[in-house]
Amino acid sequence: MSLSSCYHGADVFCRPEPDCCDLGFPDVDLNGSAAPTPESTLRAGLDVKTRKKYMYAKKKAFALFVKDLRSPSASPPTVRDGFTKWKCCGHEFRDLRTIHKHVAAQHATEVLQQTGSLLEESAATSLPRSDYSDNNTNASTHMSWSNHKVSDWLPDMKCYKTEAPTSESGEVLLYYSYCDISDPQWVCDWQRTLCELLHLTGKIRIASEGINGTIGGNRVSTRLYMDTMLSHPLFKQMCLDDFKRSDGGAHCFPDLRIGVFREIVPMGVDPQKVSYKETATHLTPEEFHKRVEWYLSDPQEEKDTVLLDCRNFYESKIGQFQNCLAPDIRKFSYFPNYVDQNLDFFKDKTVLMYCTGGIRCERGSAYLRSKVISSFS
């Protein structure tokens, strides 16, 4: 009996980057080892509702641990000077990549303990999103964040040195966040004012279900942008790792385009009917790769599993997993129609999903679950 058939239908699990979804038991030891790890022991002790918040809590615990290691700079940051330094175990770290590697290798136990504490706090309150709901702001306990002026949520630029907006010494940020936004137009106005202040270019989509952006500018401006985003109650569930960074700058985009839309990624389905909250369980890269290895090495598993590529056909042609199912679709808005025409193919199977950055698997897995589970549960 396959993992998914135990559910009499398709449960979906997904990972943010690349997006992946898996219908089954995420805690199954794929190597056949019975020796429990501290992480597996912690997860095994969680109820189903709390387990869904595990990846959120782990990511936040890691970000908080790294944040506590910051060493404040004595002078205003510039592109040449760098932005932040971290001190830990008698060493000084000058970039996020090295401090992240150090914390992951040397302080996994402390991060795991903090993860457990966050899960306990979450269980005692409600959902993780209570951290950034309209009623929980740093500015006021009586007024919604959207009742404040846009200028209240802008960084103080007096102590920063920024280069010309046309400078090529910069970077491009790619990010998204699914969250409930009660006043998308306020967020749109705030984002436009913020980006213009920081001389950023690019495109940002805002909807009641969240935000999706790709912007470019010099490194001082992009760092200020990330810090400002993370300081807002709406986006406190995010961390620096949620911003995918690459070399570039404001010159990479012709202008700045920010608007309010029905969806932050166009799938053509009303978010009120298929919500991001119904997304599949996220897998880490390591968990996803183990599932793929298992899928490719076991003939029976290959019959019971679908490795689904959620990208457009021209992206899939660049590279894809072996034996994956890559729908011949030009746009993500064609994905629902593809699922509707192949529902029987997904019935009673484990589904592993992946895409480019994570955003499409969030809604895509929710749509697949809404069709398959409702029909075959």
Which helix (H) or strand (E) element contains residue 190? helix 184-197
Nearest in space to 94 (alpha carbons), one of 109, 73, 115 = 73
Asked if 365 and 353 count as a contact pair (C-beta separation under 8 A), the reply is: yes
Q: Of these residues, 14, 188, 355, 361, which one is catalytic?
A: 355
CA distances from residue 44 to 22, 25, 50, 188, 328 in whole angstroms, order as listed:
18, 11, 11, 41, 39
Q: Which residues pair with 87 in a beta bridge?
A: 92
Local structure of 154: helix, strand or coil: coil
Beginning with the edge strand found earlier in the chain, give each strand of the sheet holding 70-71 in spatial order.
70-71, 85-88, 91-93
Residue 355 known to be catalytic:
yes
Taking the chain, what is the end-to-end CA distance rounded to the nearest angstrom? 16
Contacts (Cβ under 8 Å, ≥6 apart) of 184 = 206, 207, 208, 260
CA distances from residue 273 to 268, 300, 363, 373 in whole angstroms, order as listed:
11, 35, 11, 15
Contacts (Cβ under 8 Å, ≥6 apart) of 374 = none
* SS3 of 80-114: CCECCEEEECCEEECCHHHHHHHHHHHCHHHHHHH
Helical axes 54-67 vs 108-125, angle rounded to 10°:
120
Which helix (H) or strand (E) element contains residue 210? strand 210-218
Cα separation of 191 and 201, whole Å?
A: 11
DSSP assignments along 101-150, one per residue: HHHHHH-HHHHHHHHHHHHHHHHHHS-GGGGGSTT--SS-SSS-GGGS-G
Nearest in space to 186 (alpha carbons), one of 262, 110, 260 = 260
Local structure of 351: helix, strand or coil: strand
Could you list the active site residues? 355
